[in-house]
Chain A
Amino acid sequence: GAVVSQHPSWVICKSGTSVKIECRSLDFQATTMFWYRQFPKQSLMLMATSNEGSKATYEQGVEKDKFLINHASLTLSTLTVTSAHPEDSSFYICSLPLAGRSYNEQFFGPGTRLTVL
């Protein structure tokens, strides 16, 4: 299967600062990646679809100016949480489809735990 990494695995920051989270595909290329958010004891919620070479598509209720997504290469997507606040504390997970199979078969990164003080 595909190998997806995320960096960092956890981060603690002060309120008002920006945090960048990287999602890398280590062994195949992906034109699309997805970003999810998971609050404690809750399910994953799709935040946005990251598209290589074009703008990301955001789900309803997700502020695009707050959660900046960049997909500059076929193996890297980044999510930047700008001016983070305590309510942004969550588990952020990326995923991407395996090329050559059903588009909906996705491989997930290990997640990044963000804590905003």
Chain B
Amino acid sequence: AQRVTQPEKLLSVFKGAPVELKCNYSYSGSPELFWYVQYSRQRLQLLLRHISRESIKGFTADLNKGETSFHLKKPFAQEEDSAMYYCAPTSNSGYALNFGKGTSLLVTP
């Protein structure tokens, strides 16, 4: 079955600390993976996609096919990073997104 697991509902870190938001997936084939972010009172927006191998706002995510993971990392968290983060592989149809349950990141001063 297609499954996305974000084990942490809430992650609280101090400003300047490293942060890692975990995502594991169970998908057949070669899924395309994304991280979406939702800041307070804003709409969902794309943060990262694994194909691009880019760094956005200091965040990176590496696809580990062996561990079927796509963890999101940032070496030094900032207060403005506080938001809801969703891991989203493609769904069975290949087009829409199946979201993980999300991790709420809180960065405190």
Contact = CB atoms under 8 A, between A and B. Distances in A.
Size bin of chain A's contact surface:
20 to 34
Given A34-B96, A106-B97, A111-B43, A46 B49 contact: no
A102 interface: yes
Interface of B: 32, 34, 43-46, 49, 51, 86, 90-91, 93, 95-102
Contact of A108 (B43, B49, B95): B43
Contacts of A57: 93
Contact of A46 (B43, B96, B101): B96
Nearest to B95: A103
A104 B90 contact: yes
Interface string A45-59: 110010000000100
A44 B93 CA distance: 17
Contact of B46 (A46, A105, A109): A105
A32 B95 contact: yes
